[in-house]
Structure 1
């Protein structure tokens, strides 16, 4: 079985790292060339967005040590923030000693909404529900692919929404979109059934659009972290206190959840997911009780070890959209060795839980700046013109002095 634990991976050269990843994931020479050259051409970018003038790159790294549902993964993460990849890898290493992460994902059910106004809601609801089979048949005629796979529109529901303009009827389609994120097919089906909805209700359809609040696509999971590996019982207790702070104060909860999203969005960036949809759904879910709170839960088991849990909605896809056309995203998906969108969402959920553990562990012990400052000092030294052969010496001195600045880096460089 492939092993995601690679000793001293961070100390290896780029060539050595790529060689390890290629061996683990079965990358071809073409894949390796894409990793080295990276990104997309301007021509490709110009076909993706309007008024294109260039491209922006993010650092791409590999999180090691992950074992999820009994399978080892090397996880590509694209993010500009220091420490995230190292922190996730460290948390995964601790979790692996207890078997790793156990994750579960719902089926890939998308929600489409048709807004109906100028309507008698109660009678209109009855008409829609009675005609569910007709509506589903029409919706599924808009996607031959999903229908052939036994997927597609599965259910029609209705709800009343009160507004300043009066009551509205919202008709919702529940659609199994398979391994796609599903926005396009959901919108197509909503638009396709809209005339029928108007006919059945006698009202006027305004919006026909998917909901990014994907509560029918939850991912949830758990992991056990050994108390000794974390630094002892006091550290475990402090982590739980930090979590309780987040559950009871929205100011802390926002930053707590931002740490979770550091892990999730880094994987989303690397695999071409809709990060805005993921973020929006996660934060709405954190507010589902009427108070913004933590997306994770932390407690002790009988032995005093730390148990972490995570649950949030997430819409992802491994087919369609940018996933099919961006060469680097294709390679990142290949590195993961995934076969379904459900497998990808389990990986992303585990990355979020791992990152959250590392963040609150650091906060509850030595503080988060210790790890951040090491990489921050390197960035500052680089901007001051420090060459790679003198990088370690300059950054070490700045951190020792507690004076990390471009001016000080230049001074130290002159003294060497």
Structure 2
């Protein structure tokens, strides 16, 4: 059983509970002052504490993926990386295939049953940015009866600093998309899973920085072009969506608004509405006030033509600090922009909140895109 498996976590919790119950049950028998009783009490307390810490550690590691395996945890993973050249996925030079992995679902070892996750290397033709990504392909992509079919695609971004693997193992976007499709609530779609930090370690907020990384160009132009050249995805705006959480949510809304000719829809889970300005971002705009204003989405609603795109925003009545600006965004939006929202009664800025929203977000996105 792997370090991040649910079975290991459940086993650790069960052992901790049993040891706690055993300690309570046996404590009267170990209440004497003999050395055996003292050692017995010490042993029971230590065993219970270790089991509890192990369960908590496994839960934290499963959520945040600090270590990927037992060998990684104990420092035994010493195999050096080896460069392997591959033919591009689908013959594309801009999206080069690195490797594949099965989806963590029943039957996931068969692509035609569980789909497949492909790790690729995206080379931005215009931005000159090179970044890794994971591409989720639904089961239908591998089924003979759909071999001529094109699929809608959605870019999915983490928050900052985030790692793309969290979208698979933590937030389980591909697994949820598969379940929604099986339930008839969403159409099969391709997902391009990434973090917004494509010029690490800098937080570029998905903007084109003067004399710096052209992140907006990468996400709005290079990425859709590269994926469409490698996979059966169309190139029209109705074929493409954009979603993400936190920083990724801001990026999704901003790029969908600024590039309705590329994306028909954008969904932000707990988004904010203007570019961050802190030590991780540096000077994003080179002193250009017009660029800074454009990155403020509330300003854009007031001062720029309303884009023809559909947007979904999420917040909560308690726990999120974007409730007021979300309400302001909804109030300012005007046709042809279409805005929808999800408002939870309670939910903080965390994985648990977003996992409660993702099924509805995928269903909404599916209705906005066509193959």
TM-score bucket (shorter structure): under 0.3
Question: What is the TM-score of this pair, normalised by structure 2?
Answer: 0.24
Structure showing greater relative contact order (alpha-carbon pairs closer than 8 Å, 6 or more residues apart)? 1
- Higher percent of residues as helix: 1
Question: What is the TM-score of this pair, normalised by structure 1?
Answer: 0.22
